[in-house]
Amino acid sequence: MKAAIVRFLRDEEGATAIEYGIIAGLMALMLVAIFGTDGAVQTTLEAIFTKVKTVATTGA
């Protein structure tokens, strides 16, 4: 029994999976914060795409 507990405490595979899950969750929150609101990033991207569309359609 003692060997099983020691083996469990030394096993890091579960910790690695949890760490990756936390990282993925934080990245999702970051993307929602950047693109999910009407913030400066979205406004800037919309302005850039509008300019590109204008240049593409008018050729100027």
What pLDDT is attached to residue 60?
Answer: 62
| Verdict on whether the full-model pTM lies above 0.75 | no
Give the count of domains, the chain: 1
Q: CA-CA distances (angstroms) from residue 23 to 14, 20, 27, 35, 50?
A: 14, 5, 6, 18, 34
Tokens standing for residue 1? 């029994």
As a three-state string, the secondary structure of 3-48 is HHHHHHHHCCHHHHHHHHHHHHHHHHHHHHHHHCCCCHHHHHHHHH
Binned at pLDDT 50, 70 and 90, residue 23 comes out as very high
> Residue 29 sits in which domain range?
1-59
pLDDT, position 5: 80
**42: how many CB neighbours lie within 10 A of its CB?**
13
Question: What pLDDT, on a 0 to 100 scale, did the predictor assign at position 24?
Answer: 94
How does pLDDT run across 24-56, given as a tens digit for each residue? 999 999 888 877 777 788 888 889 999 999 999
Residue 34: CB atoms within 10 A of its CB come to 13
